[in-house]
Amino acid sequence: MRVRGKGKEHGQEQKHKRDVIVTTIARLMIPFIQMYALYVMVGTEGAGGGFQGGVVFAASFVLFVTAFGITRGRRRLPESWNAALSSLGLYFYAGIGLLCIILSLFSAQYLNYGALPLWEIIGRPETRGLMITFVVEVGIAITVMAVFTSIFFDLAWKGEEDKEDNKEEGGE
């Protein structure tokens, strides 16, 4: 009977050798992709871009998995983090909506950003709602990033696990 962890590492090393060009390019590209995702999310004024920013952020994890393998990718973003992040973004969104009702003492509607008194603190009336959409978009992007990454990890992980199981059965 072989130790499972040892066999796993051995099988992975045999199957794909990491190419130095691919890993170097991925190392160079991933920070820029994530920076660009942040720019798409919150860099421009006005609403919109949370979904696209989240998808671009998830694409950086897809590139990481393609270059460094699924086990290292899973170690970088564990499954429990995925579950926590995908609900955290939803709580951001729903919490801002509820905050609008609570802070306006039940006179404003759900997600009525203008009712939040944040613009009085900043002092510029034209920015009312802008800071709030900032938070809402970060919430949307976190959820989209977690869900897209989770879908890709599930699709890619099962394939490698099955192959390893078959190999172990054949070896023993």
Partner 1 sequence: MIIPLDLIALFFLVVIALAAITVRDLLAAIVLLSAYSFIIATVWVEMHAVDVGFTEAAVGAGATTAFLIATLARTRRWEKR
Which DSSP letter does residue 111 get? Answer: T
The angle subtended at Cα 114 by Cα 84 and Cα 127, nearest 5°, is 90
51/81 with CB nearer partner 1: 51
Contacts of 90 (CB under 8 A, 6+ apart): 139, 143
2/18 with CB nearer partner 1: 18
Footprint on this chain of partner 1 (rule: CB under 8 A): 40, 48, 51-52, 55-56, 58-59, 62, 66, 148, 151-152, 155-156, 158-159, 162
115/138 with CB nearer partner 1: 138
**Helix, strand or coil for residue 45?**
coil
52/112 with CB nearer partner 1: 52
Residue 13 CB, shortest distance to partner 1, in Å, is 19
- What angle, rounded to 10 degrees, do the helices at 50-68 and 130-171 form? 30
Asked if 64 and 30 count as a contact pair (C-beta separation under 8 A), the reply is: yes
Residue 66 CB, shortest distance to partner 1, in Å, is 8
Residue 155 CB, shortest distance to partner 1, in Å, is 4
